[in-house]
Structure 1
Amino acid sequence: MERVATRRHYLMVRPAYFDVVYSINPWMNPEKPTSTRLAIAQWEWLRDLFADLGHTVDLLPPRPGLPDMVFAANGATVMNGRVLVARFRDSQRAAESDAYMEWFPAHGYTDVRQARWTNEGEGDYLAAGSVILAGTGFRSTPRAHRESEEYFGVPVIGLTLVDPRFYHLDTALAVLAEDTVMYHPEAFSDESRERLEELYPDAILATAADAAAFGLNAVSDGRNVVLPQAATGLIGRLREHGFEPIGADMSELLKAGGSVKCCTLELHGTVPAERPGR
């Protein structure tokens, strides 16, 4: 099958203040040294790659005291010009929402509000054609799923995560095209695995090793799939399915439990015609 890339619009945050000073997921160890300089270099490579692939990349300025702000995907869900800003579970990240509440109206978005219930943006909400796949179990709540369905007017399919290493949906599943996904079955409850098998009988299944390498924290434009280079099994499977995998070294950011997708918020749908600037 010939895969076709489509131009995408992303929002990213430079990791100017990246560090691991607390632990809110199993990957974070404040006693393990980190390098902000290396995190910036890896992030800049990713940003430049998206531009080279023809995608638009807007930047939200980082704020001091928010070391996880680089993980822009968690900040909001954006569909058809409507923006639902995250409400974080953990107090350490709560102030990030203010930055998104300010940035979107300043850049021409008029329908912007913060989620009422715990909702961690595209970390747990992935657009897949005419539906949204939504994770729960560790962060976003089922009540937040209903809120998103009402706000966006799109069916939301809830999926329950059961392995704390895969605390957001985007660490356990990636949408490759409207009708194609890859995921790690063991990250989901029995009921959710059955639902995924029904929806995507031809899905690419990730091994435990590739999932642990954060290989599912990937970004696809329909043809090019950017994912951690350590997920060698998935890279081979993607080629077999007609995709063009591009390996990325995001090892420094993985110390905080994030990788390619975590750094990348996709602005789906209509983009405001007039924006003051980027």
Structure 2
Amino acid sequence: MSGRTPAAPVATPRRLLMCRPQYFDVSYSINPWMDPGKPVDTTLALLQWEYLRDLYVRLGHTVELIEPLRGLPDMVFAANGATVVDGKVLGARFRHVERTAEGPAYLEWFLRHGYRDVLWPDAVNEGEGDYLVVGRKILAGTGFRTDPRSHAEAQEFFGLPVVGLQLVDPNFYHLDTALSVLAEDQVMYYPGAFSPGSLAVLRTMFPDAIEASESDAGVFGLNAFSDGYNVVLPQAAAGLIEALKARGFHPVGVDLAELLRAGGSVKCCTLELR
């Protein structure tokens, strides 16, 4: 421990963008979680997603919706659609051809809703899948999806320090599957997802962080959303739930098991409109 006492958790209302999983399916495989040979229950996925959306509203957040497009089964994972900081929108350019049309679809939503400081990126980045905002810094993942050259692009556009982190385990292919921001100075993460150098950076930056077990990380317990007090995460991550309670947070467990078939959970479904 660093000896510094973290600030008491305080909830702050957020504006969130989500996408109904109307066309959700696993018809291709671009991560280790996806198996097109296993049937998907779209009705169940929709019910689980609706519970998450309604939970956000009950917690005091504003949820806006983008219309899903036929043929884009992963569009439900709104976090990948862009990165929004100070009203500035960095669009997403996807690595895999199966998802490339999602980037323009999300960018069009922002333009239609009055956002004017918008950048279409030169380098591949997969939105808040790999860009996580902590206070006035951005943690930026790379290794499987986002091109490290995009980190400089994001820093120049947002005018905030960008800290690159190397992911090394393909099961945690986006930063938001391996690390979750709890508050402006607090995070939780799975050490096994990171290269030795990146793990050393995290331990230097966040000496009081919650380090997740392999089992909690394996049920996507780190793919969570925090408003500074309420932490919404997969209910199967029992160890993280207890660790969060011990730090004064209010963990709220949910079941998004059907969406996990595509390698996504709470945070993947949630894009914050800062």
Match of 2:167 among 161, 167, 170: 161
Match of 1:86 among 87, 92, 106: 92
Q: Give the aligned length.
A: 268
Residues 225-262 of structure 1: CA distance to partner in whole angstroms, max 9, x if unpaired? 00000000000000000000000100000000000000
Match of 2:220 among 214, 225, 244: 214
Give the drift of 1:113.
2.2
The answer as to 2:19 corresponding to 1:13 is yes
Residues 194-246 of structure 1: CA distance to partner in whole angstroms, max 9, x if unpaired? 00000000000000000000000000000000000000000000000000000
Query: In the alignment, residue 65 of structure 1 is paired with which amino acid?
Result: G
SS at match of 1:246: strand
- Hey, what does 1:147 align to over in structure 2? 153
Within-5 A mapping of 1:254-265: 254-265=260-271
- Hey, what does 1:97 align to over in structure 2? 103
Distance of 1:105 and 1:86 partners within structure 2: 14
Distance of 2:104 and 2:130 partners within structure 1: 19
So what's the TM-score if we normalise by structure 2? 0.97
Give the drift of 1:105.
1.1
- Hey, what does 1:252 align to over in structure 2? 258
The answer as to 2:25 corresponding to 1:54 is no
The answer as to 2:31 corresponding to 1:25 is yes
Query: In the alignment, residue 143 of structure 2 is paired with which amino acid?
Result: G
Give the drift of 1:2.
3.1
CA contact (8 A) 2:134 2:184 kept: yes
Structure 2 unaligned blocks of 5 or more:
1-6
Match of 2:244 among 238, 248, 269: 238
- Hey, what does 1:273 align to over in structure 2? none
Farther off after superposition, 97-106 or 55-64: 97-106
Distance of 1:143 and 1:98 partners within structure 2: 20
Distance of 2:59 and 2:74 partners within structure 1: 26
Query: In the alignment, residue 145 of structure 2 is paired with which amino acid?
Result: R
SS at match of 1:12: strand
Distance of 1:57 and 1:189 partners within structure 2: 35
CA contact (8 A) 2:82 2:107 kept: no
So what's the TM-score if we normalise by structure 1? 0.96
Distance of 1:179 and 1:2 partners within structure 2: 11
Percent identity between the two aligned chains: 65
Query: In the alignment, residue 134 of structure 2 is paired with which amino acid?
Result: A
SS at match of 1:83: strand
- Cα RMSD of the aligned pairs, angstroms, is 0.6
Give the drift of 1:102.
1.0
Distance of 1:174 and 1:16 partners within structure 2: 27
Give the drift of 1:101.
1.8
- Hey, what does 2:76 align to over in structure 1? 70
SS at match of 2:263: coil
User: Would you identify which runs of 4 or more consecutive aligned residues in structure 1 move more than 2 Å?
Assistant: none
Distance of 1:34 and 1:122 partners within structure 2: 25
Residues 91-111 of structure 1: CA distance to partner in whole angstroms, max 9, x if unpaired? 000001121121101111011
SS at match of 2:64: strand
Residues 61-93 of structure 1: CA distance to partner in whole angstroms, max 9, x if unpaired? 000000000000001000111101100000000
Distance of 2:22 and 2:185 partners within structure 1: 36
Query: In the alignment, residue 15 of structure 1 is paired with which amino acid?
Result: P
Query: In the alignment, residue 13 of structure 2 is paired with which amino acid?
Result: R
SS at match of 2:188: strand
Distance of 1:28 and 1:114 partners within structure 2: 28
CA contact (8 A) 2:26 2:35 kept: yes
Query: In the alignment, residue 30 of structure 1 is paired with which amino acid?
Result: P
